[in-house]
A and B are shown apart, each in its own frame.
Chain A
Amino acid sequence: MRWQIPLLIVFIGGVFMAVQYFVPLEFSERIYEYCVDWIIIVGVFAMGLGLWSLFRVSVSKIQTKAPAWKYNFLTLAGLFSMILLGLFSGIEEGKAFMKLFWYIYTPIQASMFALLAFYVASAAYRAFRARTLVATILLLTAVVIMLRLIPLGSVSGLNQNVASWILTVPNMAAKRAIAMGIGLGGIATALKVVLGIERSYMGKD
C-alpha cells in the first residue's frame, strides 16, 4: 500500500490534469484551481523543510570546520536577521527589512546579473574560434548577426537582410524543431510518470 497509494494519486492527478485541458466546464476549472492551491500549500510547508536543510548544513560545516566554514556564519546571520526583522519590524516600505532588501540584496543581485556580460564575452571567444568548418560557419554567422546592430553605411541594408534571413529561416527552423522534440519528450516523460513506469522520484526505504 505504501507504493500503491502514491502511484494511484499520481495516476489520478495526471489523468485529470490531461483531461481538464480539453474540458472547459466550470467544475473542471474549479478542481484545477483547487489542485493549484494545493501546490502553493505544499510549497509553503516545504519551505520550512528547505530552511531547516540550509540551517543544518550550515551548522554542520561550522562544526566540522569544512573549507570556508566562516561563510556559513554569514549565511545564518543573513537568514535569521531577515526572518527576525520581517517578523518583528514588518515588511512595509521604509522598514529595516525592506532597507536591507533594497540597499544590500538588490545591488548584489544586480551585480551578479551584470557579470553575465563578461561571461558572454569569454564564452563567445571560445565558441567562435574557427578551428573547424562548422566553427567557421558559426563565427561568420555570429559576425553577421552582431553587425546588424551597427550602422555600416550602404552595407547596412544588405547585412540587415542577411541577418533577418538567418534569424527567421534557419534559426527559426532549428528552434521549432527543438521545440517539437521537447513537446514529444515532455508527453513521453509525463506518460512514464503517470503510468508508474518511471518512479525513481519516490525514493526507497
Chain B
Amino acid sequence: MKNKFVIRNKVLPIFLLLFSFFLFGLHTSSAQEMGIPVAAPISSAEVPAPPMNVAAKDAPNDNGHAIIVKWKLSADDGAGNKNVLSYEIWRSDNPDTGFVLRGLVPAGTSQYLDRGARDKEDKNYFPSHKNFYYIIRARSDGSYSESTVSAPAYAYGQWIHTGKLSILFTTALFTFFVVLFINWAKKGKKLYVRPIAGIDAIDEAIGRATEMGRPILYILGLGSAGELGTIASLTILNRVAKKTAEYQTPLLVPVADPVVLTVAQEAVKAGYYEAGRPDAYKEDSVWYITSMQFAYVSAVNGLMLRERTATNIYMGVFYAESLLLAETGNVAGSIQISGTDQVAQIPFFVAATDYTLIGEELYAASAYLGKEPLLLGAIKAQDWGKILIMISLILGVLAASFHLDFIVNLFRIKL
C-alpha cells in the first residue's frame, strides 16, 4: 500500500511533469529546426528598459542623403538586467505609423548613421529635405522595448566639408607661395634652387648616347594620363626630346596607355619643334605596346637587349615592373636614370639604376631641365612648403610632448 501511495502521489506527478517538459522541448526544437519562429516566453522581467533621448539630425559633410541618430543607452545595457543584445533603428515619415527597420547595432552603441542612396531609382533611396522620425528598439533575447518617437529631422547637403578645412587652408597657403615666387621670377628676381645630381645626369646621359650612336629609351611608366607622376614625366619627356633633337640622337618611347600615347607624341613633337628640327621628328618613335603590365615589360626588355640602348630614363608611375626593367637595362649596360612618386618602388630604382629622382624631385625635374624662371618659381615654393612642414612638425612634437593637442587638432582631417 505504501508503495502504491508513493507511486501515485510522488512519482507519477514528477513523471508527468518531466514528460510535459520533454514534449514542450521536442516541439520547440523541431519547430526551430523547421525554421518556424517560436515565440519566446515573455515575462515583464525580461523586457529591457527603453533607450532614451532619441535625437536625429542631418549627417555633416555629406551630399544630403543621411541622418545621424543618437540615443541614450537603455538602463539594462551593461547594467541593470544586462539583457540588451542590440538596438534596432526604425524610421518613418509619419510619427504615428509606417516605421521600417533601417539598421541594427550591437549593445553598447548609441548612434547610427542612416545613409541611403542618392538616386531615386535605387531601392535604398533617401530623399533630401524630407522630415523623418526615428524610434530605437532595445532588444533582449525574445523581447524588446521602444523609445519614444524622435523629433523630426531632414537630410541636406553641405556646401563645404568642414573636416577638410585644414587641407584647404594648407593648399591655399602653398598656392599663395607658388604664385608669389612665380611673380618674383616674372619680375626677373634670381631664384637659387639646389642642384639635383639625377637631373644633371640627364644631360650627361644624352651626350653619352650621342657619342655611342645608340638610342635613348624613355619609359613613362604604367600610370594613366590623369596621374600627376605621368604628367610630370610628360613634361620631362618634352625637355629630353628637345635635347635629343639638338644632338640628333634617336629617342624611343614605348607607351603602355593609349591616352598617354597621344599626349607623349605631342610632347615629343613639341620638343623637336623647340629645337628647330621638326623634320627630324618621327611619329613612330612614340608608340603603343600594351596596357598589360608584364606583357609591356617583356616587350620593353626585348627592345633594350636588341637595340642596346645607351641610356634608359624611367620617369613616372611604376609598380612591380620597375625592377624588371631596371635590372634588364643594367644587364644591357645602359646608363640609367629613374624617378617615381611611388614610394614602394624607390628602393628598387635606387638599387638598380645609376641615378634616382626621389619623390618630389620628379616633379621638379622638368623645371630644372627647362631652366625657365616661371617653372623654377614653383620649385622655390616647394622648398618653402617643406620649411613650413618642418616648423609645424617640430611645434607639433613639442606641443604633444606637453599634452597640448591644439596643433595636432589643427591638422586633423575628418573624412
A, B from the same assembly: yes
Residues of A within 8 A of B (CB): 18, 21-26, 28-29, 39, 42-43, 46-51, 53-54, 56-57, 60, 67-68, 71, 105, 108-109, 112-113, 115-116, 119-120, 122-124, 126-127, 175, 178-182, 184-193, 197-198, 200-205
Residues in B with CB closer than 8 Å to A60 are 284
B157 & A185 in contact (Cβ 8 Å cutoff): no
Contact digits for B96-131, partner A, Cβ 8 Å, 1 yes 0 no:
000000000000000000000010000000001000
Q: Which B residues touch A105, using CB under 8 A? A: 295
Candidate in A24, A54, A175, A184 with the most chain B CB atoms within 10 angstroms: A184
A46, B224: Cα distance in complex, Å: 12
B168 to A57, Cβ gap below 8 A? no
Please, which residues of chain A bring their CB within 8 A of the CB of B306?
67-68
A23 to B379, CA, bound (A): 29
Which one of B2-10, B29-37, B59-67 is at the A interface? B59-67
On whether the beta carbons of B327 and A119 are closer than 8 Å, the reply is: yes
Give Cα A200–Cα B231 distance, bound, in whole angstroms. 10
> How many A-B residue pairs lie within 8 Å, measured between CB atoms?
209
| Residues of B contacting A109 in the complex (Cβ-Cβ under 8 angstroms) | 292-295
Judging by beta carbons under 8 Å apart, are A188 and B382 in contact? Answer: yes
Could you tell me how many residues of chain B have their Cβ less than 8 Å away from some Cβ of chain A? 88
Knowing A24-B62, A24-B157, A43-B259, the reply to whether A185 touches B359 (Cβ < 8 A) is: yes
B residues contacting A by CB (< 8 A) are 61-65, 118, 128, 157-161, 164, 167-168, 171, 174-175, 178, 182, 224, 226, 228, 231-232, 234-235, 238-239, 255, 257-259, 261-263, 265-267, 269-271, 273-274, 284, 287-290, 292-295, 297-298, 302, 306-307, 320, 323-324, 326-327, 330, 341, 343, 346, 348, 350-352, 358-364, 366, 374-375, 378-379, 381-382, 385-386, 389
Contact A116 B359 (CB under 8 A): no
Neighbouring A residues of B178 by C-beta, 8 Å: 187-188, 191
Interface residue from B261, B292, B360 paired with A181 (Cβ < 8 Å):
B360
Most chain A beta-carbon neighbours within 10 Å: one of B63, B267, B359, B379: B359
